[in-house]
């Protein structure tokens, strides 16, 4: 039911009529889906609905300008567009509403996202790239308003890189950088900082990005007068308009009910953006919301009668219908027949989607009933199990939790029985969980052959006369090797270009690789991240640099909501193997020595978190990551760039493994677990502890996510029978995470002779000045005394009380 793309210049009136009629059919189909969708929620079959009604016609005009290879980054109103590019059927629309977990039925997210969150497949079932130039692409939506904006910037920038950087293999990804990244956003969501940050950045970068603003004057119940200065976003953004003297945007305004003008506007926008790589803003005004914002409420509560009457008249579908009648494209009778047929088609599609959703679950229920019946017949608690079985049987349209919870409850009644039927029930439960759980949990990380943890370690090797250099030189030379080996790699961030980053880890590389591959950005962490996400989604290998760990909070929302969920929310059909490079810990003051690792670890499951203790280890992580298909955050030690490290002779080739710890000092009294900059203090404390007869083993975690996949820490604890986690995050932060891993995942408690301990920073932010660190974070003396205390408690005779 797709729309025809690229309206030709010379067509017959008959062709024209057919195309318009087809477009109208599409608009009415989409509207019927919205209307019936709302009813499905009100009758309880679906939980929640947010639909594209009132925005149909502009999306059809947009779809005509959208070509193969192009990308969308939009939000929940875009169902008509997805239908118009042939990527959403009626059945799939309803499969999304029901949250069907079968990707074949619900290709947007396999039921992981609420309906209205759209995506196409960039990867095949094995995680390999499809040819993105031969299909129409949509990056996977997220719910946070304006969250689609940073990624949009990167999707557009990829075209610029593909067009202008030599030597990249563009197969699968680009045709000379001719692809446009199309964004959509609601009028109210333009109030978000992410919108303004992205608009400014795209103007600076001059990338082929076309952003449509669907303006219906409201953001849920809140009117434009509370959202936007002058109640008009294109009016206040006028200054972005390019002119003869300066680059900028093309800005268009068009009414959302005017079919002919919309088509013309989108064609003009596409032309200038595709050919010249100029960003374009299309402010689509006078849109409506026939059913209000979502199924959660009714708009009669906040729109007055005048507005409601205007919305009824200027409903874009109604206006298109009127225009068709006025221009003799169809008669009223013809349209009525067409509308009736569509109603039926949508009803049929809905029914088919419901059957596809419910039938497999009904089959699972039948299986469970039969097993329960057999257990009931063989058990002395048969009456109770029969009751459970009968209760399940009365549920005509069960959820999976109804089925499995009945089976699990029934198992309790046969705890002490020993029958074949009990065994069958037990096996059934285990098999069910094993097959069903992944429907809800798979693909948090890559499940392809390129999974980062499959990369094996390659040690750095050294000449006998290896030079001792500043750590930053190892990094710099390794980045040079990376940029030579991977033409599709590039790095960008504040001060990353011209001066080669604030610590000179990229010194001289812009001169060697050009301003597009080693570049300075504005101060705008969220969109630096977005650049990386979008470019990684289009086959490039970006490294986004966040200048200091302390400032990653500006980008953390996008890392958490977008980057960390890409694989999960598409069930492995999209990926963004972005490397985020940052530096932090233990310099000076509140904002250059923070350690928000607890927050980071908890917010970005789905991204690897790597904490190398020196620059050789860091370089090795970059080498590993470039061979993998997963996103990662690498935190370099801010105080380590000038410390001496030996220069390896296999620069660019050695690899630090992901999820593998390293024992950096052996000992048998206690296991000290730490990472990053703090390790140097732990090592010094361990030397001093030896002087009083305490021989500590030190383990460098290196990789917080994933964590010690081989369970080496517990092996050490089996030897020492004591453990202490030392960390410069606050108590309850990363140290709590680490201890949880050791106790609950590695079962270390069975080897412990002393209480497991954490030593963390004071709860306040680190004070400035040379003493600030000492009185805010664990010091060598703190570590010494904490370890000594453990030994004193275990053996007060040999280790009398110190303090
Ligand atoms: C960051 C964030 N805050 C709040 C919400 C809840 N929310 C969802 S949609 C919406 C209004 C959006 O209005 P607008 O951008 O005009 O889009 P429309 O729905 O009108 O098309 C709000 C507040 C959200 N999803 N994300
Ligand atoms: Mg709105």
- Which tokens is 203 given? 């103007």
State how far the Cα of 58 lies from the Cα of 53, in Å rounded to an integer.
Answer: 11
221: CA distance to ligand 2 center in Å? 9
Q: How confident is the model at residue 586 (pLDDT cuts 50, 70, 90)?
A: confident
- Residue 405 has φ and ψ, to the nearest 5°, of -70, -35
236 torsion bin: left (phi>0), alpha (psi -120 to 50), beta (else): alpha
Ligand sitting nearest the alpha carbon of 557: 1
186: CA distance to ligand 1 center in Å? 7
- The lowest-confidence range among 8-17, 298-307, 470-479 is 8-17
Residues 41-87 have pLDDT tens digits of 999 999 899 999 999 999 999 999 999 999 999 999 999 999 999 99
What is the predicted pLDDT for the residue at 770?
Answer: 86
Indicate which atom in ligand 1 lies nearest the CA of residue 145: 26
At 645, is the secondary structure helix, strand, or coil? strand
State the Cα torsion 564-569-572-574 to the nearest 10°: -80
Indicate which atom in ligand 1 lies nearest the CA of residue 216: 20
Q: At what angle do helices 420-441 and 400-412 cross, to 10 degrees?
A: 150
Q: Which candidate, 53, 684, 708, 613, places its Cα nearest to that of 346? A: 53
Concatenated DSSP letters of 663-717? EEE--SSEEEEE-TTHHHHHHHHHHHHHHTT--EEEEE--EEETT-TT-HHHHHH
Predicted confidence (pLDDT) at residue 274 exceeds the cutoff of 80: yes
CA distances to 86, 388, 400 from 360, in Å: 27, 21, 10
Ligand sitting nearest the alpha carbon of 294: 1
Indicate which atom in ligand 1 lies nearest the CA of residue 55: 21
145: CA distance to ligand 1 center in Å? 5
Over residues 193-208, the mean pLDDT reads 98
Other CB atoms within a 10 A radius of the CB of residue 275 amount to 10
251: CA distance to ligand 2 center in Å? 19
Please answer whether residues 329 and 25 qualify as being in contact, where contact means their C-beta atoms are separated by less than 8 angstroms: no
User: What is the DSSP pairing of strand 703-705 with strand 632-637?
Assistant: unpaired
Indicate which atom in ligand 1 lies nearest the CA of residue 189: 15
Ligand 1 atom 13 nearest Cα: 219
Q: How confident is the model at residue 5 (pLDDT cuts 50, 70, 90)?
A: low
- Which tokens is 278 given? 């100029």
Q: Which residues, 6+ apart, have CB-to-CB distance to 220 below 8 Å?
A: 188, 293, 294, 297
- Residue 6 has φ and ψ, to the nearest 5°, of 55, 75
What is the predicted pLDDT for the residue at 617?
Answer: 98
230 torsion bin: left (phi>0), alpha (psi -120 to 50), beta (else): left
Predicted confidence (pLDDT) at residue 404 exceeds the cutoff of 80: yes
What is the predicted pLDDT for the residue at 29?
Answer: 98
Averaged pLDDT of the chain: 97
Greatest Cα pair distance in the chain: 103
Predicted confidence (pLDDT) at residue 7 exceeds the cutoff of 70: no
Catalogue the E-assigned strands of 152-303. Answer: 181-186, 209-214, 218-219, 222-223, 250-255, 280-285
Predicted confidence (pLDDT) at residue 495 exceeds the cutoff of 90: yes
- Which tokens is 451 given? 């999974």
State how far the Cα of 509 lies from the Cα of 480, in Å rounded to an integer.
Answer: 7
Q: Which residue has the tokens 């993105």?
A: 132
224: CA distance to ligand 2 center in Å? 8
141: CA distance to ligand 1 center in Å? 13
Residues 751-794 have pLDDT tens digits of 999 999 999 999 999 999 989 999 999 999 999 999 999 999 99
Q: Which residues, 6+ apart, have CB-to-CB distance to 612 below 8 Å?
A: 618, 620, 621, 634, 635, 636, 637, 656, 676, 702
Please answer whether residues 202 and 209 qualify as being in contact, where contact means their C-beta atoms are separated by less than 8 angstroms: yes
Pocket test for ligand 1, best of 51, 117, 185, 220 (most atoms within 8 A of CB): 220
* DSSP conformational letter for 330: S
Which helix H or strand E contains 187, and what residues bound it?
none
Ligand 1 atom 11 nearest Cα: 219
Pocket test for ligand 1, best of 75, 145, 193 (most atoms within 8 A of CB): 145
Q: How confident is the model at residue 297 (pLDDT cuts 50, 70, 90)?
A: confident
Ligand sitting nearest the alpha carbon of 188: 1
Please answer whether residues 89 and 226 qualify as being in contact, where contact means their C-beta atoms are separated by less than 8 angstroms: no
293: CA distance to ligand 1 center in Å? 9
Percentage of the chain beyond pLDDT 70 is 99
What is the predicted pLDDT for the residue at 8?
Answer: 55
State how far the Cα of 178 lies from the Cα of 679, in Å rounded to an integer.
Answer: 49
Q: Which residue has the tokens 């306040």?
A: 764
Ligand 1 atom 26 nearest Cα: 144
Q: How confident is the model at residue 6 (pLDDT cuts 50, 70, 90)?
A: low
Over residues 732-750, the mean pLDDT reads 98
Ligand sitting nearest the alpha carbon of 220: 1
Catalogue the E-assigned strands of 353-430. Answer: none
Indicate which atom in ligand 1 lies nearest the CA of residue 220: 11
CA distances to 26, 282, 339, 346, 353 from 342, in Å: 9, 30, 5, 6, 16
Q: Which residues are catalytic?
A: 592
Please answer whether residues 195 and 149 qualify as being in contact, where contact means their C-beta atoms are separated by less than 8 angstroms: yes
Site residues for ligand 1, CB cut-off 6 Å: 77, 143-145, 186-189, 214, 216, 218-220, 293
Q: How confident is the model at residue 352 (pLDDT cuts 50, 70, 90)?
A: very high
Ligand 1 atom 21 nearest Cα: 186
pTM beyond 0.95: the answer is yes
Indicate which atom in ligand 1 lies nearest the CA of residue 293: 19
- Residue 394 has φ and ψ, to the nearest 5°, of -75, -15
């Amino acid at each position: 039911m797709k729309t025809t793309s690229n309206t030709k210049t010379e067509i017959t009136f008959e062709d024209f009529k057919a195309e318009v009629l087809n477009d109208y059919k599409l608009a009415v189909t989409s509207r019927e889906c919205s209307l019936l969708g709302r009813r499905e929620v009100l009758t309880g079959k679906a939980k929640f609905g947010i639909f594209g009604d009132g925005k149909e016609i502009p999306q059809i005009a947009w779809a005509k300008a959208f070509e193969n290879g192009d990308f969308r980054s939009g939000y929940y109103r875009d169902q008509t567009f997805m239908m118009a590019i042939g990527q959403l059927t009626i059945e799939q629309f309803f499969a999304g509403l029901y949250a069907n977990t079968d990707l074949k039925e619900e290709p947007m997210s396999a039921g992981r996202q609420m309906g209205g969150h759209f995506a196409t497949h960039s990867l095949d079932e094995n995680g390999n790239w499809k040819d993105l130039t031969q299909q129409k692409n949509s990056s996977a939506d997220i719910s946070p308003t304006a969250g689609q904006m940073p990624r949009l910037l990167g999707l557009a920038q990829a075209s610029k890189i593909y067009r202008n950087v030599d030597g990249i293999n563009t197969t699968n990804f680009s045709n000379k950088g001719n692809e446009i990244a199309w964004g959509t956003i609601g009028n109210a969501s333009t109030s978000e900082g992410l919108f303004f940050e992205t608009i400014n950045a795209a103007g600076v970068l001059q990338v082929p990005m076309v952003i449509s603003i669907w303006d219906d004057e409201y953001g849920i119940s809140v009117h434009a007068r509370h959202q936007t200065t002058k109640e008009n976003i294109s009016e206040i953004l006028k200054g972005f308009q390019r002119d003869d003297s300066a680059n900028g945007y093309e800005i268009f305004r068009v009414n959302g009910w005017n079919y002919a003008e919309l088509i013309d506007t989108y064609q003009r926008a596409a032309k200038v953006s595709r050919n010249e790589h100029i960003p374009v803003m299309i402010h689509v005004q006078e849109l409506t919301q026939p059913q209000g914002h979502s199924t959660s409420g009714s708009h009669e509560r906040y729109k007055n009668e005048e507005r409601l009457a205007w919305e009824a008249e200027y409903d874009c579908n109604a206006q298109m219908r009127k225009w068709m009648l006025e221009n003799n494209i169809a008669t009223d009778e013809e349209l009525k027949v067409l509308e009736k047929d569509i109603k039926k088609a949508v009803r049929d599609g809905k029914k088919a989607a419901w059957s596809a959703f419910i039938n497999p679950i009904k089959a699972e229920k039948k299986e469970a009933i039969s097993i329960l019946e057999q257990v009931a017949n063989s058990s002395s608690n048969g009456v109770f199990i029969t009751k459970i079985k009968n209760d399940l049987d009365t549920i005509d349209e069960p959820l999976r939790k109804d089925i499995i919870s009945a089976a699990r409850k029934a198992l309790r009644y046969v705890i002490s029985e020993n029958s074949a039927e009990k065994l069958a029930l037990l096996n059934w439960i285990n098999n069910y969980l094993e097959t069903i759980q992944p429907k809800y949990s798979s693909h948090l990380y890559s499940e392809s052959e390129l999974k980062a943890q499959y990369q094996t370690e390659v040690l750095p090797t050294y000449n006998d006369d290896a030079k001792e250099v500043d750590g930053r030189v190892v990094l710099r030379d390794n980045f040079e090797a990376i940029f030579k080996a991977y033409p599709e790699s590039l790095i960008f961030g504040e001060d990353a270009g011209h001066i080669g980053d604030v610590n000179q880890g990229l010194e001289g590389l812009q001169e060697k690789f050009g301003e597009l591959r080693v570049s300075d950005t504005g101060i705008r962490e969220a969109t630096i991240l977005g650049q990386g996400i979008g470019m990684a989604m289009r086959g490039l290998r970006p490294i986004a640099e966040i200048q200091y760990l302390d400032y990653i909070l500006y980008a953390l929302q996008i890392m958490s909501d977008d980057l960390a969920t890409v694989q999960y929310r598409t069930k492995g059909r999209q990926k963004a193997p972005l490397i985020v490079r940052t530096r932090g810990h233990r310099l000076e003051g509140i904002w250059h020595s923070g350690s928000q690792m607890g927050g980071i670890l908890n917010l970005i499951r789905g991204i690897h978190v790597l904490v190398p203790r020196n620059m050789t280890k860091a370089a090795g992580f970059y080498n590993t990551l470039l061979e993998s298909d997963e996103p990662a955050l690498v935190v370099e030690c801010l105080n380590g760039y000038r410390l001496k490290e030996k220069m390896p002779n296999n620069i660019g080739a050695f690899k630090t493994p992901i999820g593998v710890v390293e024992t950096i000092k052996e000992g048998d009294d206690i296991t000290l677990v730490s990472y990053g900059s703090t390790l140097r203090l732990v090592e010094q404390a361990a030397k001093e502890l030896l002087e009083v007869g305490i021989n500590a083993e030190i383990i460098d975690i290196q990789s917080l996510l994933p964590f010690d996949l081989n369970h080496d820490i517990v092996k050490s604890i089996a030897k020492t029978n004591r453990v202490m986690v030392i960390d410069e995050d606050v108590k309850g932060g990363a140290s709590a995470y680490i201890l949880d891993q050791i106790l609950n995942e590695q079962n270390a408690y069975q080897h412990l002779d002393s209480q497991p301990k954490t030593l963390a920073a004071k709860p306040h932010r680190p004070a400035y000045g040379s003493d600030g660190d000492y009185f805010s974070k664990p010091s060598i003396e703190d570590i010494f005394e904490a370890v000594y205390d453990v030994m004193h408690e275990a053996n007060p005779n040999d280790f009398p009380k110190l303090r």
